[in-house]
Amino acid sequence: MKVALVTGASRGLGAVMATTLAKDGWAVAVNYANDSASANQVVARIEAHGGRAFAARFSVIDSAALRPGLEAIARQLGPVDLIVNNATGPQPEMPIMEQSWQTYLDQLEFFVKAPLELLQLVLPDWRARKSGRIVNIGSEVAELGNPYFGNYASAKGAMLSMTRSWAKELGPEGITVNLVAPGWIPVERHVDASQASRDHYLERTPLGHFGKPEDIADMVAFLASDKADFITGQRFAVNGGRTLT
Ligand SMILES: NC(=O)c1ccc[n+]([C@@H]2O[C@H](COP(=O)([O-])OP(=O)(O)OC[C@H]3O[C@@H](n4cnc5c(N)ncnc54)[C@H](OP(=O)(O)O)[C@@H]3O)[C@@H](O)[C@H]2O)c1
């Protein structure tokens, strides 16, 4: 059974990615940093359907925690074959004059530093096996450039450039690297979003409705599957056509 690590999988998009990958036959490490009860529920859902999963608690932005985290996954499930870099912390929006280098760094820690340090830990093994997959979770804002969000947009933009560079560097070794760029997909943290902001968003969405976490998870599962063997270095927008406008 191949092993997937989904970072930030205790809720939101990551939780659905984890259950979707498990349905496809992956053993799934459900990573999280804080909410053990929710992570355990995701694991229980997977096991109830006959799958294998492990709640892997470590903060992806804590460099020292990554090696022990991967070792615990290897003991429980086996060495990781796929990393889905999905975890996110708070995403504060604020005007440029209120931003600081630290507010930028806070986003880069999740979307650039953590993926880099995880990759460096698995790469010797992947190189030896001439296989391995990365799916980075970006955002449409890297392309749209939402105002007051330079911190987050820059980090997601960097994640996309990193995806392309890694794909070229690692392609000859049989390792693929792709990025899925969701639009706004309402999850638990959006319960308080106003109707006005929802309507405003949908006005610029050709398909005219919100996507579901499953829409993102299905693209991740496709990129993780053998069907995507010949795809690398690509960005897949899953946003109802928003980045056409
Ligand atoms: N939902 C959207 O509309 C949307 C749109 C575009 C892009 N995205 C991207 O999609 C990804 C998932 O977003 P989401 O909306 O599903 O977020 P979310 O609901 O806030 O979930 C974030 C996940 O990350 C975990 N997490 C937080 N800090 C962590 C850390 N230091 N180490 C490991 N895990 C940590 C959280 O679990 P704990 O709190 O238990 O640690 C949680 O499981 C993000 O990369 C986001 O930028 C989302």
Segments making up each domain of the chain, as ranges: 3-191+212-239
Q: What is the DSSP string of 14-32?
A: HHHHHHHHHHTT-EEEEEE
The pLDDT of residue 115: 99
Measured by CA distance, the residue closest to atom 29 of ligand 1 is 33
The pLDDT of residue 121: 99
CA distance 182 to 39: 22
> Is 152 a catalytic site residue?
yes
8-17 average pLDDT score: 98
Per residue in 131-158, pLDDT tens? 999 999 999 999 999 999 999 999 999 9
Contact 137, 89 (CB under 8 A): no
Q: Name the pairing type of β-strands 27-32 and 133-137.
A: unpaired
Ligand 1 centroid from CA 43, angstroms: 17
Ligand 1 centroid from CA 11, angstroms: 7
**Torsions phi, psi for 146 (to 5 deg):** -55, 135
Ligand 1 centroid from CA 10, angstroms: 9
Encode 190-200: b = buried (16+ Cβ within 10 Å), e = exposed.
Answer: eeeeeeeeeee
50-76 average pLDDT score: 98
Per residue in 153-174, pLDDT tens? 999 999 999 999 999 999 999 9
Mean confidence (pLDDT) of the chain: 98
The pLDDT of residue 245: 56
Q: Which of 32, 104, 148, 152 is catalytic?
A: 152
Give, in degrees to the nearest 5, the angle at Cα 50 between 47 and 51. 65
210-216 average pLDDT score: 98
178-202 average pLDDT score: 97
DSSP state of 114: H
34-55 average pLDDT score: 98
The pLDDT of residue 7: 99
Burial of residue 244 (number of CB atoms within 10 Å: 0-12, 13-18, 19+): exposed
Whether 244 shows a pLDDT value over 90: the answer reads no
The pLDDT of residue 19: 98
Ligand 1 centroid from CA 66, angstroms: 17
Whether 198 shows a pLDDT value over 80: the answer reads yes
Residues with Cβ within 6 A of ligand 1? 7-14, 31-35, 59-61, 86-89, 137, 139, 182, 184-185, 187-189
Encode 7-30: b = buried (16+ Cβ within 10 Å), e = exposed.
Answer: bbbbbbbbbbbbbbbbebebbbbb
Q: Look up the CATH superfamily of 3-191+212-239.
A: NAD(P)-binding Rossmann-like Domain (3.40.50.720)
Confidence of residue 176 (pLDDT cuts 50, 70, 90): very high
Whether 118 shows a pLDDT value over 80: the answer reads yes
Per residue in 96-110, pLDDT tens? 999 999 999 999 999
Q: Which of 5, 32, 61 to mutate to test the pocket of ligand 1 (most atoms within 8 A of CB)?
A: 32
Q: SS3 of 135, please?
A: strand
